[in-house]
Amino acid sequence: MAVDPRQVVAGFLTLSMFVMLGNMIKHDHFSSGSGTELVLDATGEEFNAAKVADDAEMTNANRVGVEHQMEADEEMKPCWTKPSPKVQPSNGFVTLSLTMGPEYHISQITDAVVIARYLGAALVLPDIRGNELGNKRKFQDMYDVDKFMSSLDGVVKVVHELPDEVSAKKPAVIRVPNRVTEGFITETIQPIFQKNNYLRLAVVFSSISLKPNETDNKDLDSTACLVMFSGLEMKPEYSEVAKQMLGRLKELSKKSDGTVLAIDMRTDLLGKKSCKTNGGARRKGCYNPHEVLGFLKNVGFSANTTIYLTETWWHKGLNALKEAFPSTYTKDDIMPAENKGEFLKSVNADLARALDLEICSQSDVFVPAIDGLFYGHVTGKRIASGRTQILVPALASSASAQASDFISTYISKKSHLAYSCYC
């Protein structure tokens, strides 16, 4: 039977239309006819260059590729087993004060419990001392004391205070390097404890590392894992404040691309010793708002991303960031009004920092603009919960930079001690 050429042409045109339609669906966009320009962002993903109103819902046409490059891992399970109960009574006491903020508290209490476990001593609930002279509070004023004591039940005896006959004595004060080793305990601490069974520890942070220690003492390893990841929790009413703030951020993000990005930004630290070399230059790992802004643009975050900054108050140095990312907030912006009087006082800086720790640990993406223990402990919490989307800023030298190029080495190289605690 003869084939009509007009049927062939019609069939070809129909097939071409379906191919074109398929390609348009695949790329998640249709030409709106409004004259908006389709361009490529730094990741090479297509996005609509038209300005989106602050209250407009994000559509697939406005998404960039950052989220797709960084899929969350599954929540991990503890690899350790709870240390076996101590059967012999404690033969002495270990005391300390928690200082310098919650990220330091985690390390300090971990070292203290490890030492008390090894010595067979009782741990006295520590007090908490702020940076200002006379700023002191009880452990239970900030942390969930019942949760802390129950988590250590059978591992270490925890007491609220010293017996009168012991408190009348003078303790032996020992400077302990952070992440204390078994060797230091046996060579330095144990001989002193045998002479004076009342110790006061001062944990010293001469260097900061949360990489795994090589050790053959599984009991102490398990104790450290238990305390570091299950010991300290804010008391319930404070945890509720963090939960409300995070809920507010998530609600705001629904008006944009659904992503909550937390940035540990502390501009007050940029001029201090922790961010300065001996020569006065700024250390690697300390980034100012302008540098963070360039980084976020280079790796392709949408202008509609909801951003939480660990800054307490807004200041003019953040204005450029706000202009590029309008949905950017500080604690003062999103904290319930009834809680600001307590949390935003300078004398309560450790409470505000504890909220930052919770929010940064549970956000969709975390960017540490300041290196240090806060970054390390947030990373540990995120590894345990499968939230491994952590981008470390860098001054990208290429316009083709992608978010995956800046994944934290704690994650990409599995160099965080959390990987020895969770699997």
Q: What is the pTM of this model?
A: 0.82
Token representation of residue 109: 């209490």
pLDDT of residue 208: 81
- Burial level of 64, CB count in 10 A (0-12/13-18/19+)? buried
Token representation of residue 216: 């053959």
62 in Cβ contact with 256 (< 8 Å): no
43/202 Cα distance (integer angstroms): 48
55 in Cβ contact with 253 (< 8 Å): no
Q: What is the pLDDT of residues 346-380, one digit of tens each?
A: 888 999 999 999 999 999 999 999 999 999 999 99
pLDDT of residue 396: 58
List all residues 6 or more positions away from 261 whose beta carbon is below 8 Å from its beta carbon.
Answer: 296, 301, 305, 306, 307, 308, 363, 364, 365, 366, 367
pLDDT of residue 362: 96
pLDDT of residue 80: 87
Mean pLDDT (the chain, rounded): 83
354 in Cβ contact with 240 (< 8 Å): no
- Burial level of 235, CB count in 10 A (0-12/13-18/19+)? middle
List the chain domain ranges: 93-230, 236-421
378/15 Cα distance (integer angstroms): 53
298 in Cβ contact with 318 (< 8 Å): no
pLDDT of residue 66: 63
345/402 Cα distance (integer angstroms): 39
pLDDT of residue 31: 32
The DSSP annotation for 233-247 comes to -B-HHHHHHHHHHHH
pLDDT digit string (tens) for the chain, length 423 residues: 444 544 544 444 444 444 443 444 333 333 333 333 323 333 333 223 333 233 333 333 333 456 545 566 677 899 888 888 876 778 899 999 999 999 999 999 999 999 999 999 999 999 999 877 778 999 999 999 999 999 999 999 999 999 999 999 999 999 999 999 999 999 999 999 999 999 999 999 987 889 888 788 999 999 999 999 998 999 999 999 999 999 999 999 987 778 999 999 999 999 888 899 888 899 989 999 999 999 999 888 999 999 999 999 999 999 999 999 999 999 999 999 999 999 998 888 999 999 999 999 999 999 999 999 999 999 999 999 999 999 999 875 556 667 778 999 999 999 999 999 998
253/211 Cα distance (integer angstroms): 34
* Domain 236-421 annotated CATH 3.40.50: yes
